Amino acid sequence: MPPARLVASVRTFVRGTAGTGVALAARTAGALLLGKLVALYGGPGGLTQLAQFQNLMGLFGALPTDGVQLGATTHLAPLRPGEPRHGLWLGTAMWLVALLVGAAGLVLLLVGGPAWPAGRALLFTGAMLLVTEQALLGVALLAARRRGAYVLLTTVLSSLGVAAVAGLLALGQPLGRVLLGYVGGQSLTFGLAWWLAGRVGLWPGWPIRVWPSRVALRGLARFVLMALGNLLVGRAVDYVVRAYLIKHFAPSATDLWQAVVKLSDNYTLAVVAVLNTVFYPRLAALAPTPAEQRRYVSTVAGLLAVGLALGLGLLYALRQPLLTLLFAPCLAAAAPLIAPQMLGDWANFVSWVFQYTLLVRGRAVPYLAMQAGCMVLYVSLLANILPRLGLPGMVVAHAVHHGLVLLISAAWFYAGKTDAQR
């Protein structure tokens, strides 16, 4: 890539990152306030229960988010809103999201146990359907370069979820009902998303299809298949591990570890938003020119590595007051766990930049192989470290795991051949 074009790509990345600042601020503020409310008023083990509930939300949204949304972004980006092909891809994506969330709800009904009776499971599934559909419409707004509408949608989403939690806690409702109200509050944004989509012209020329397009289904299926790796490796393993810790450790102990994880989740939201809304669309646009795409990936990886190191270093220096301010004074005792957690997060974020190249090329087999290897590595580390170190072993395993994954991802990217060389 000529220097001028490389500089232009970097400027686009930086401007896009700044452009999503309001949305990032709203999401981060909402997540921080939610954690603070549950830490103060949710009772012992409240943070851990919140994390487990959000992890369940993540399980429901894994395939729609990591699969359908990325596939929709790839195919919608070059199309103009309102043209028939745009409506075909968007309509099929909405059908596919509904199918995946419905299937997840059926699994919850079958295996949820006493904690998830039919009424509660159906309410949760219905709310998650609306949440994931509005997220897809948000992606379509971004692909149509309607960043202002996306910012508004994200801000309202964060506000309604936290408002529902605050109201239910003030009424003295049990935490289980409060958490259900959290996803219910977020689901109310679907109406706004639908209105915004119509207002910016996503619907004209799209008669609502009675059945999804087979061509679009095949195109999106590759991305859903790759998202299965994230579902099995990341979210499902995390859910099982957290359930094990809840069962075998005291709530006060798990809350210390969970406070560190929740702090990590807050800045992870910002990084994920930047990668999904700024980095990935540009990466997809450079797909026809593999050499330029590789240089862009290398440049962004370097920028992120330095920027994240500085940002995480600042957070580490403020770890004691942050834990007290964001959660509760008693959770400041979790400070010793922060260093390995942040080290693992830094490696994880940088490795994502390299792994996104497999996603954008639709290379399902190498991507799934990498995810399966990561799962085996992580479970092996936990099995060896957790019995020896107890709960601190969770963050140590996190750091070692993601450090090794970064080395593997970078080695694959820099040692591999470009598509143009094949």
Each residue of 347-383: pLDDT tens digit?
Answer: 999 999 998 888 777 677 777 788 788 888 888 999 8
Q: Tell me the two tokens of residue 81.
A: 């809103």
Of residues 278, 271, 310, the one with CA closest to residue 296: 278
| pLDDT confidence of residue 5 | 55
Instruction: Count the Cβ atoms, other than its own, within 10 Å of residue 145.
Output: 13
> How many Å apart are CA 67 and CA 368, to the nearest integer?
13
Those residues with Cβ within 8 angstroms of residue 216's Cβ, 6 or more apart along the chain or in another chain: 75, 88, 89, 92, 93
Specify whether the CB–CB gap between 34 and 169 falls below 8 A: no
Mean pLDDT of all residues in 257-281: 83
Residue 419 has pLDDT above 50, yes or no: no
Task: Indicate the SS3 state at residue 363.
Answer: coil
Mean pLDDT over 67-87 rounds to: 80
pTM above 0.75, yes or no: no
Closest CA to 55 of 234, 227, 189: 234
How far apart, in whole angstroms, are the C-alpha atoms of residue 85 and residue 261?
Answer: 42
Which of 87-101, 155-169, 319-333 is predicted least confidently?
319-333
Distance from C-alpha of 50 to C-alpha of 176, rounded to nearest angstrom: 9
For a pLDDT cut of 70, what percent of the chain falls above it?
A: 89
d(CA 399, CA 396): 5
Chain position carrying tokens 């851990």: 48
Mean pLDDT of 275-290: 79
Residue with tokens 């601190």: 392
pLDDT tens per residue across span 126-174: 999 999 999 999 888 877 778 788 888 988 998 999 999 999 999 999 9
User: 116-140: b or e for each residue (b if 16 or more CB lie within 10 Å)?
Assistant: beeebbeebbbbbbbbbbbbbbbbb
- Single-letter amino acid, residue 88: L
**Which is nearest to 362 in space by CA: 217, 220, 230?**
220
DSSP H helical ranges for 200-278: 214-230, 237-248, 251-274
Other C-beta atoms lying within 10 Å of the C-beta of residue 297: 19
Domain ranges across the chain: 1-39+249-422, 42-221
Tally of helices (H runs) and strands (E runs) in the chain: 18, 0
C-beta separation of 150 from 138 below 8 A: yes
d(CA 223, CA 66): 8
Q: Which structure tokens are listed for 186?
A: 């977020």
pLDDT digits (tens, 9 = 90+) for 183-210: 999 999 999 999 998 888 876 544 455 5
Q: Are 118 and 109 in contact (CB under 8 A)?
A: yes
Buried residues in 390-403 as b, exposed as e (16+ CB within 10 A): ebbbbbbbbbbbbb
| 82: enclosing H helix or E strand | none
* Average pLDDT rounded to a whole number, residues 376-401: 91
DSSP-assigned letter for residue 250: -
> CA distances (Å), 288 to each of 223, 279, 334, 419, 420, in order?
19, 16, 48, 10, 10
* The pLDDT of residue 354: 92
Q: How many other CB atoms are found less than 10 A from the CB of residue 171?
A: 10
**Cβ contacts of residue 388 below 8 Å, gap of 6+?**
none
Q: Virtual CA dihedral for 61, 63, 68, 74, nearest 10 degrees?
A: 110
Which of 72, 199, 184, 59 lies closest to 131 in space, CA to CA?
184
Give yes or no for residue 345 having a pLDDT over 80.
Answer: yes
Nearest Cα to Cα of residue 397 among 356, 347, 355:
347
| Contacts for 167 with CB less than 8 Å, ≥ 6 apart | 181
Residues contacting residue 74 through CB under 8 Å, at least 6 positions apart:
223, 284, 360
Cα 133 from Cα 65, distance rounded (Å):
10
| Nearest of 88, 111, 62, 110 to residue 225 by alpha carbon | 62
Distance separating the N- and C-terminal Cα atoms of the chain: 19
